[in-house]
Chain A
Amino acid sequence: MSIAPDDPRLTAYALGELDPEALQAFRAELAEDPRARAELSALRELGARLERELRSEPVPALSAAQREAILAAVRAPELRRRAAATGPNHGPLATAPGASPTPAPGSVAPERRLIASATPPLRWRHVGLWMAAIVSMLGASVWLLNWQQADEQPVVASASTETSAQAYEVTGILRRPTPSGLREAVEFGQMREPDDHEVAGAPSVPPTPEAAAAPVANLWGDAIGEAYGSGHGRLASKPSAATVDPRMQRLSEKTVRRAEAVFNDEQGAGAPPGQLAALGNREAYDAVGDNPFLRVATEPRSTFSIDVDTASYALVRRFLSSGSLPPRGAVRIEELLNYFSYRYPEPSGDEPFSVVANLAQAPWAPEHQLVRIGLQARHVAQGARPPANLVFLIDVSGSMNAPNKLELVKYGLRRLTESLGARDRVAIVVYAGASGLVLPATAGSRKSEIQQALAQLEAGGSTNGGQGIELAYSLATQNFIRGGVNRVLLATDGDFNVGVTNQSDLVELIQRKAKTGVFLSVLGFGAGNYQDSMLEKLADKGNGNYAYVDEPAEAEKVLVEQASGTLVTVAKDVKLQLEFNPAEVAAFRLLGYENRLLQHQDFNDDSKDAGEVGAGHSVTALYEIIPVGGTVPSADVDPLKYQTPAAAPASPPLGTAQTQGEWLNIKLRYQPPEGGASRLKELALRGPVNAMNEDFRFAAALAEFGMLLRGSPHRGQASYEQVLQLAQGALGDGKDRQAREQFVELVRSARRLAGAEGPAGKPRPYDPLNGSLP
């Protein structure tokens, strides 16, 4: 008697799954059936192949944020029990199905509802804490502090200091090997027969009495610690706003929506959904308030550092195209302005750049004027670029394992490599749990070697950025090319979580390294745990530039089209100082550059670091000015007790025939890229208020857009309609026309999203991310 080919015992036997009773009989049959034995070995082979191939198949990993979400949720059951015990109207806890090994399909949902409904009555002051608790349960990790509100500050701030140490501890626990007893318990469970239901009743770990005894107040405090610490404490030392990428954080978003419902019930006022959704993620954005109007009578000067970063524009684009408004902190007006290039005159002779200034009516405040200052750095042709010594410093930690991160990094650097030649050198350093040299300095002409090294990179492990930075800089110093481009290109999502993780330590390290004459480019990638504030700081302190790469086209722009601007620095420590003429100007306000302001005395101090300008970069700054006779909004400070502030002087003190009609004087200081004494340029703006030209209109549209997204208190009559009108009439026919058209689309998306929250252009209701009340 032979075994039929469709006898399932064949497979069962091949896989060692045949019942012990059936085993004997089957073996006997098999002994007499060579064909069945052949079948059997084919099945075994197929099984082994399936196991091998299916287990090596790459899977879409959980994002770091999702893993954190899960681990942060571990304490949720405790919170839930407590909430249910104290809350009046809650039914029995929904738990995973009792004796039955099969949970009901809907078991996830009712539990979440329970969390949402288990709200103890809360007064306003507790709402923040309550939300932190929700957030920690379901995985949000960045908590932001309401620091503008004096009332709230002490409560939250103390919680954060207490728990920052704890945050480290929590991480430590996670990374420590599993206690062997527990590991065994899990393993043991696996080895047992699954229908062994008596196991179900046996508690595996005894409950700890202190957990049950913890007072409610502490419970909320702990929750904040977790929320704040797990996502934030390791990296940023300052409270930040955060936001969610709906593609990656669908779950957290849902949760937060429920939190919003609670929040709204408590407040009786609508909180902006997009902004609140922010809590469900580990992204960090520093929110910086808008520059206020300054009275020229008391504060005639304005000093700031140039900034050529463009990251904010790409970040804003990412948020809008994924259907949410960006968090305020991610919107930096200067970076929106500088994302685009303008037709400023090319510098003459050996000058590294030209400076122009214009004056026009401010579109959002017709009684105010808008000053545009434009800098154009000289272009360097691709062939005329000095030889480059580049070190790619690539974050290959687990969090980079996403198509829009490491894969995009590889793509961008591959494209950059294509433009390199025999005089150039490329080295590749990776960092994760340990840092390593992937490719020693290699001539740019050996493209296949470089590209092969890039192709082999894989993500995995945690991030020790500090070590990698050390190694990259030492390579760049070893291969230093005098008069050449010496640059470290750091590609990361900024999620440094091992080693030098203290933000200020890292910044200090970069600051020290910048003195070696090696410049830094920071290329930010990814969503979900993106650390914007951190990366901006690194670029700022490391003589660098900073771009956010959200798609292959952006990689092309930064690394191919603008390669010379990204790589070749034409001037460093570029500072601007404006002096306003009190005869013409009553008050002024710098749009953007909030985190680039300098002390006035730093202008002439060459040891004070400032921004770098790359070849072909154009830099734009806008000032809104209130002419003499206009109403100056009252300052945020209390009036002086002992003196009356000087009103606009009846006659300008130094008004001479020469300075008559001048609005302001611009002084610009910069150092040559190799360092040395600074040079000074000076320019006075005089003359009538003109109509805006195309580029000026486009810049005004960008600034107005930024003010709307930031909910700026100075937005006046700004509206998305006006932004559209300005931008559509200023598309030009230059090479960035396509990008300008894309901007128009972004404005439309923003208008739609803002429309869903409230009438466009109207002040937003309470914004919990920034803590300012309307």
Chain B
Amino acid sequence: MGAEPVQSWIQSALDRYEASLLRYAAGVVGSAAAPDVVQDTFLALCRAEPEKVEGHLGPWLFVVCRNRALELLREGSRLRPLEEQDVTGNPDSEPWRRVERQQSFGRVQHLLQELPDRQREAVMLKFAAGLSYKEMAEVMELSVSHVGVILHTALTRLRVLLAEPSEVLGVGGGL
């Protein structure tokens, strides 16, 4: 395959999945490390043979992204020095910046943190990334019916949380 078509193929994959992969990765490793995970994911795509990916590009990317993110979490101890650098050298860590960032968090995003990992992951894959149940099953390595149960439980829980006044942000109201 010539470089040109591959490049446009990768480019269109980037256009389509960059944002949702970043959101998904941020949910696992935090927003600071998410771009690295996603970069790794696309680099893996560059090396993959297109025939092997064709037909399930979305799930393929999320699987690689997920594995890479989990790998990064396992490397936890090796990551720490980088985080320390972030604290000292990054204006991100300046108080004024931190406040702005906290304010930008929407309520739903915040409530997601209350969900168990699997439920949160299912919500992100479904609503942020737009995967089908079948694709989610591939990514999460579960059966389709199991995915359905997890997602339903997650939504039910979210409805309860939304109906309660939020302690953290002091905002109430349901749907």
Contacts and interface: CB of A to CB of B under 8 A. Distances in A.
B121 interface: no
B39 A251 contact: yes
A160 B17 CA distance: 34
Contacts of B46: 70, 73-74, 76-77
Contact of B5 (A59, A174, A179): A179
Given A5-B156, A101-B138, A204 B51 contact: yes
Contact of A552 (B11, B59, B91): B91
Contacts of B132: 17, 194
A388 interface: no
Interface string A194-235: 111001111111111011000000000000000000000000
Interface in A145-162: none
A94 B84 CA distance: 34
Contacts of B155: 11, 43, 46-47
A108 B2 contact: no
B47 A111 contact: yes
A74 B6 contact: yes
Interface in A94-149: 95-99, 101-108, 111, 138-139
Given A50-B127, A66-B35, A59 B22 contact: yes
Nearest to B4: A173
A674 interface: no
Interface string A168-199: 00000110101100110110011011111001
Nearest to A192: B55
B28 interface: no
A484 to B, nearest CB: 32
Contacts of A111: 44, 47
Interface stretch (A403-411, A588-596, A614-622, A698-706): A403-411
Contacts of B138: 101-102, 194-195
A97 B135 CA distance: 17
Contacts of A80: 47
Nearest to B145: A8
A105 B3 contact: no
A164 B77 CA distance: 43
A767 interface: no
A641 interface: no
Contact of A11 (B13, B67, B148): B148
Interface stretch (A304-312, A316-324, A354-362): A316-324
B152 A10 contact: yes
B43 A190 contact: no
A689 B100 CA distance: 56
Contacts of A73: 42-43, 46-47
B31 A60 contact: yes
Contact of A404 (B14, B64, B92): B92
A27 interface: no
A105 B70 contact: yes
A247 interface: yes
B68 A108 contact: yes
Contact of B23 (A54, A138, A179, A407): A54
A561 B113 CA distance: 42
Nearest to A174: B11
Contact of A42 (B48, B59, B91, B159): B159
Interface centre among A43, A47, A70, A76 (most CB of B within 10 A): A70
Contacts of A53: 106-109
A12 interface: yes
Interface string B121-141: 001101110101111001001
B3 A74 contact: yes
B8 A182 contact: yes
B90 interface: yes
Given A6-B156, A103-B64, A201-B51, A54 B36 contact: no
Contacts of A9: 148
Contact of A96 (B49, B88, B101): B49
Given A61-B35, A178-B12, A108 B43 contact: yes
A636 interface: no
Contact of B51 (A50, A183, A200): A200
Nearest to A183: B12
Interface hub of B43, B44, B130, B151 (most chain A Cβ within 10 A): B43
B151 A62 contact: no
Contacts of B158: 46, 50
Contact of B82 (A59, A96, A211, A246): A246
B48 A96 contact: yes
A58 B104 contact: yes
B1 interface: yes
* Chain B interface, >50% SS class: helix
Contacts of A475: none
Nearest to A404: B91
Contacts of A195: 134, 138
Interface in B64-121: 64, 67-68, 70-71, 82, 85-86, 88-92, 94, 96-97, 100-101, 104, 106-109
B175 A76 contact: no
A296 B117 CA distance: 75
B56 A101 contact: yes
Contacts of B71: 105-106, 108
A85 interface: no
A12 B154 CA distance: 12
A70 B54 contact: no
B3 to A, nearest CB: 5
A96 B52 contact: yes
Contact of B55 (A78, A200, A211, A323): A200
Nearest to A207: B1
Interface of A: 5-12, 15, 17, 42-43, 45-47, 49-51, 53-63, 66-67, 69-71, 73-78, 80, 95-99, 101-108, 111, 138-139, 173-174, 176, 178-179, 182-183, 185-186, 189-190, 192-196, 199-208, 210-211, 246-247, 250-251, 318, 321-323, 403-404, 407-408, 411, 550-552
Given A9-B148, A96-B48, 20 more contacts: A5-B156, A12-B133, A15-B126, A54-B128, A63-B35, A71-B7, A77-B49, A95-B48, A103-B60, A103-B64, A105-B67, A108-B43, A186-B12, A189-B56, A193-B134, A194-B55, A194-B56, A205-B6, A246-B82, A404-B90
11 contacts: A8-B151, A50-B158, A59-B34, A60-B32, A66-B35, A182-B12, A194-B59, A204-B54, A205-B5, A247-B82, A552-B91
The 8 closest A-B pairs by CB, nearest first: A199-B55, A96-B48, A8-B152, A11-B152, A54-B128, A50-B127, A105-B67, A208-B2
Interface of B: 1-14, 16, 18-20, 22-23, 26, 31-32, 34-36, 38-40, 42-44, 46-60, 63-64, 67-68, 70-71, 82, 85-86, 88-92, 94, 96-97, 100-101, 104, 106-109, 123-124, 126-128, 130, 132-135, 138, 141, 145, 148-149, 151-153, 155-156, 158-159, 162, 175
